Amino acid sequence: MSEETTLIRASSGWVALNLKDLWKYRELVYFLIWRDIKVRYKQAALGVAWAIIQPILTMLVFSTVFGKFGKLPTDNSVPYPLFTLAALLPWTLFANALQRSGTSLVGSANLITKIYFPRLIIPISSVMAGLVDFGISFIILIGTMIYFKVSFTWNMLWIIPFTMLTLVTALAVGLWFSALNVRYRDVQQMIPFLVQVWMFASPVAYSAQLITDRKWQIIYGLNPMAGIIQGFRWSLLGGTPPGELMLLSSAVMLVLFIGGLYYFRRMEKTFADTV
């Protein structure tokens, strides 16, 4: 019989990530995602239809306001509805994941104070739970692409890494926010506002090519979502590849992510006492 020995003691300072433990509990990630999805659409009259209605309505509103009234130019003269939908997909995935993960620890206070499991599981599963909605929206996108007679290319496979980057970015920010929210409930007041500002700082409704000033481009690139959204559009609809913007975005994201992981692990030991 192999026997596990656990040493319980005060951990000091920056703790190791302990990914082994995380791997051992991987099934719990699956169960929590499954719970989130099941619960979200239970007792909603329209059920999963909401995942279809929301992106379509947002696309219509954006097309009317920004495309029709605002006459914003698109890249590569793509029809505006398609142009904005291609951006709304990663953006919605990101925004929802950020909102859910930011409040996830506080929302799971009853679990945290009663049972041990690697706490990283909570923000991870709340970020991943958005993938189902994303999948559904993706079908709408494909439908729209067919409607506008966009030809399908191998280039489109690029959206797989871009989707993963979206998730990692959301997790990076979510790690910081969820851990901070345990201590400072100010965070949960801040998140909706931040999401709103962030959307305007990302090329969702407009094209990143509108920003021509070199200095502003660099500042713009600091937003990891700028590169990702640009990349999404490029892989689906063609135009200019994200290039430099993407490099800067990825670097920022990586710093945020690794910092977030360590900050989270550092704060983890106090969660049960402070939540």
Which 210-269 positions form the footprint of another protein (CB under 8 A)?
269
Nearer Cβ to another protein (43/151): 43
Residue 31 interacts with another protein (CB under 8 A): yes or no: yes
Stretch binding another protein (CB under 8 A), from 27-35, 133-141, 152-160, 210-218: 27-35
Residue 114 interacts with another protein (CB under 8 A): yes or no: yes
- Is-contact 186 273, C-beta < 8 A? no
CB 25, min distance to another protein, A = 8
170-204 burial: b if 16+ Cβ within 10 Å, else e: bbbbbbbbbbbbbeeeebbeebeebbeebbeebbb
CB 24, min distance to another protein, A = 9
CB 56, min distance to another protein, A = 26
Residue 275 interacts with another protein (CB under 8 A): yes or no: yes
Which 167-206 positions form the footprint of another protein (CB under 8 A)?
182-186
DSSP state letter for 68: I
Residue 113 interacts with another protein (CB under 8 A): yes or no: yes
Which 35-74 positions form the footprint of another protein (CB under 8 A)?
35, 38-39, 42-43
Query: Which of 158, 175, 172, 169 lies closest to 225, judged by CA?
Result: 169
CB 118, min distance to another protein, A = 10
Query: What is the rounded CA–CA span in Å between residue 165 and residue 36?
Result: 22
Could you give the angle at the alpha carbon of 236 between the alpha carbons of 81 and 214, nearest 5°?
Answer: 85
Q: What are phi and psi of 151, to 5 degrees?
A: -85, 145
Instruction: Indicate the length of the chain as a whole number.
Output: 275
Give contact residues for another protein (rule: CB under 8 A): 3-11, 25, 27-28, 30-31, 34-35, 38-39, 42-43, 110-117, 182-186, 269, 272-275
